[in-house]
Amino acid sequence: MDRKANGRTIGLQVKGVLVLTFIVLIAISSGGWLYYMVTARMLRANDVHEAERLARALAVAAAPNMVGGKLQAVRKLTVAALDHPNVHHVCVVDRRGGVIMTAGGRGPDIPAVGLASERPTLSYDIQRGENFLEMGRPIIAPGRTGQARLVGGVRMLVDTRATARILAGVQEEMGLSAALVLVCAIPLGLLLVWRVVGLPVGRLVRATRRLSEGDFSARVETHRNDEIGELACSFNTMAERLNASQQQLRLANESLERKVAERTGELERANRRLRHEMDEKEDFLRAVSHDLSAPLRNIAGMATMISMKYAPALPEEVQTRLERIQANVASETDLIAELLELSRIRTRPQRRQRVDFGELLNELAGSFEYELKQKQIELIVHQPMPVLHVARNRMRQVLQNLVDNAIKYMDRATGGRIEVRHEEREGMHRFSVSDNGPGIRPEEQDRIFYIFGRAASARSANLPGRGVGLASVRSIAQTYDGWAWVESAEGAGSTFHVTLDAKRTAAPGEEEAAAPAAAGAEAG
């Protein structure tokens, strides 16, 4: 990460220097080229001007001699023209182009150059190769009528190597100064790029790194008003906002933690209070049931004793009443026992074990065989049934209650049918017991799951019952994070459903991490 960031910084500086060098190079070369071109043009123009001046001077000097036929004087003038250091070759021709005098040399380094023009009448200048310039000028003299007339021509080859040397020197000097400028520009450029880009960007990179590592106090000092200054200001604003949000988050977190701690404390206190109250309720129920059972047993004992001791002397009506007392006492004792058991379902969970529901239902079918046969009811258990890790007695209590009710409330003389099903969906085991009995009115379907809740039809039909069974069924389902309810319509049978959370019914090794608290309570 660090090396990457450093690499990027160096790269940026090198790129800046390269760009700067490139710009300096372009500026130097285009300026130099312009300077060279202007200089060359000026020197060449000067050459032409000088050559023209020489040719014109010779033409003017030779003109009267040409008219007067003094060819010897013309020849002398021609040779004298060679005295000029730049004049390499001179030729004077007559009106028809015939050579009067040609003079000049050819050194070992001088190429063989001739005078090209065949037309002495014309003024011309021709660049001959790199180093020579040929200049042609007419020799004009006044005629008899006073009109100017052409009498011959001067052709002159002027050496321009001095100009070429000057230009070569200019090129050399320009190269040297360009190299000098570059040598100075590179370190200067480096310094400039480092000051302008490298240094502030480096500061920004370091501050960004600190921020990313969680140091929200990171800031970049800046007094610049360019884009980098703007970037640094934006960074500082962003860091300040982040810092503020971080503070708010921390405060919110602390207050949340405080609230959670408070709520947890409240919950723990409520839990303790609840457990205490439940223990108290259980003690109370035990005491009440004991206190009620004792006199009830006493009454039953007295009634039995009276009927046995005075049986022959007692009129039949008294005998019957004594028997009714005994039956009522037995019924109340059972009710007290059932209520006590109901209160213990949630407070005293039983040990869990592996239960095969197929076997359990077989066993139940056997125990109900007599009633089923008597009422001609068919009991169908749909396979497969699961094997769960549950409290066997509680499960037996659930299924027994449901099948018992289905048999008890069956109003058909023949064709009665009870079906038991199991399915697992959305993490819940669902057991369903359906019958084709009388059904339950919608407004009574919830009430029957409360203690002493009985349907009006059951009461009017005078069927025995205390309204505790379904309350126990729902209570047992709740200990497995499940529920119990009924789907029914009057005259269309009923289906009772009981669900158990799959996590709470799995073998200890297969339970998920969420289950241990509940499993612990269950095992206790």
Contact set with ligand ADP (CB under 6 A): 401, 405-406, 409, 435, 437-438, 440, 448, 453-455, 458, 465-470, 494
Smallest distance, ligand ADP to C-beta of residue 246, A? 59
Name, in order, each residue with C-beta under 8 angstroms of 401's C-beta and a sequence gap of 6 or more.
469, 470, 472, 473
Q: Are 433 and 496 in contact (CB under 8 A)?
A: yes
- If the CB atoms of residues 193 and 440 are measured against ligand ADP, the closer one turns out to be 440
- If the CB atoms of residues 194 and 496 are measured against ligand ADP, the closer one turns out to be 496
Place of tokens 């108290």: 280
Smallest distance, ligand ADP to C-beta of residue 494, A? 5
Query: Which secondary structure element, helix H or strand E, spans residue 356, and what is its range?
Result: strand 353-356
**Six-digit token string for 93:** 């021709």
- If the CB atoms of residues 321 and 421 are measured against ligand ADP, the closer one turns out to be 421
- If the CB atoms of residues 44 and 466 are measured against ligand ADP, the closer one turns out to be 466
- If the CB atoms of residues 388 and 398 are measured against ligand ADP, the closer one turns out to be 398
Q: Are 437 and 410 in contact (CB under 8 A)?
A: yes
- If the CB atoms of residues 145 and 462 are measured against ligand ADP, the closer one turns out to be 462
Smallest distance, ligand ADP to C-beta of residue 452, A? 8
492 three-class SS: coil
Q: Are 154 and 87 in contact (CB under 8 A)?
A: no
Q: Which residue type does 449 have? A: F
| Nearest alpha carbon to residue 504 among 352, 341, 350, 361 | 352
Smallest distance, ligand ADP to C-beta of residue 442, A? 13
Give the C-alpha separation, 436 to 413, whole Å: 12
Query: Which secondary structure element, helix H or strand E, spans residue 151, and what is its range?
Result: strand 148-159
- If the CB atoms of residues 152 and 438 are measured against ligand ADP, the closer one turns out to be 438
- Sort strands 124-128 and 132-142 into parallel, antiparallel or unpaired: antiparallel
Q: How many CA atoms lie within 13 A of 71 on its CB side?
A: 10
Smallest distance, ligand ADP to C-beta of residue 297, A? 23
Smallest distance, ligand ADP to C-beta of residue 472, A? 8
Smallest distance, ligand ADP to C-beta of residue 475, A? 11
98 three-class SS: coil
- If the CB atoms of residues 289 and 472 are measured against ligand ADP, the closer one turns out to be 472
Q: Phi then psi for 151, rounded to 5 degrees?
A: -115, -15
Give the C-alpha separation, 7 to 191, whole Å: 18
- Sort strands 416-425 and 377-381 into parallel, antiparallel or unpaired: parallel
Give the C-alpha separation, 345 to 522, whole Å: 11
Smallest distance, ligand ADP to C-beta of residue 388, A? 23
Smallest distance, ligand ADP to C-beta of residue 507, A? 31
- If the CB atoms of residues 202 and 453 are measured against ligand ADP, the closer one turns out to be 453
| Nearest alpha carbon to residue 465 among 393, 407, 378 | 407
